[in-house]
Amino acid sequence: IKMPLGDEETCEMHDLMHDLAQMVGDECRLVDSPSEYVNENIRHVGIVNNSEAVLRSASLSNTPWHLRSYVQFRGRGRLPKSDFDGNISSLRRLRVLFLKDKRYESLPESVGELIHLRYLKVCVDADYLPEGITKLRYLQILDLEGSSKLRELPREFYRLTSLKHLRLGAEGLASVNTSLIDMPPRFGELTSLQ
């Protein structure tokens, strides 16, 4: 950073670093209006506007197959499982799925097809999670905050061997406040859990 005569800060960057920064920057997009959506170069999408037009244009059904991160910062309301169902199989390269403030009736069984998923933040109104979630062997963070109706975890939950963080309970509460009846068998085998 150079400070010239005035108070303006300037930054000098090597040409190769500039090219690298542009290349990486072209893979990311914050969507604030329907016209800003995703082309074939975009790998990481953040939805920052919860208007109906933006949510419709940036829905999971319109996302390209090569997407790595889908982050929705806002969005209220309860969505049907079908909003998820038909689209998951086309997002197999997804590593981050963050759906803040969205409520889904339930997760589809096909969530297990997201084999590269590392981070899942979702709120469901269901009593249980689908068994398909146990196929996510690389999943490290499972955030189910706000899924207060959840009564049981899948029987083969122990298969999530990479799971480091499991967040359950109602939003904003420091303690676990959930209606879980019991932990699944072999839960103690999750040795990476912190």
CA distance 186 to 67: 34
The whole-model pTM stands at: 0.75
Within a domain: 6: no
Q: Into how many domains does the chain fold? A: 1
Which residue pairs from 2-7 have beta carbons closer than 8 angstroms and sit at least 24 positions apart in sequence?
none
Within a domain: 91: yes
Which segments of 95-183 are extended strands (E)? 96-104, 119-124, 141-143, 165-167
Within a domain: 127: yes
Within a domain: 115: yes
Range of the domain at 138: 76-189
Is residue 124 packed enough to be buried (19+ CB in 10 Å), middle (13-18) or exposed (0-12)?
buried
Within a domain: 53: no
Within a domain: 45: no
Within a domain: 103: yes
Q: What is the CATH number of the domain that holds 91?
A: 3.80.10.10
Going by pLDDT thresholds of 50, 70 and 90, the confidence category of residue 172 is very low
Lowest mean per-residue pLDDT among 8-22, 119-133, 172-186 = 172-186
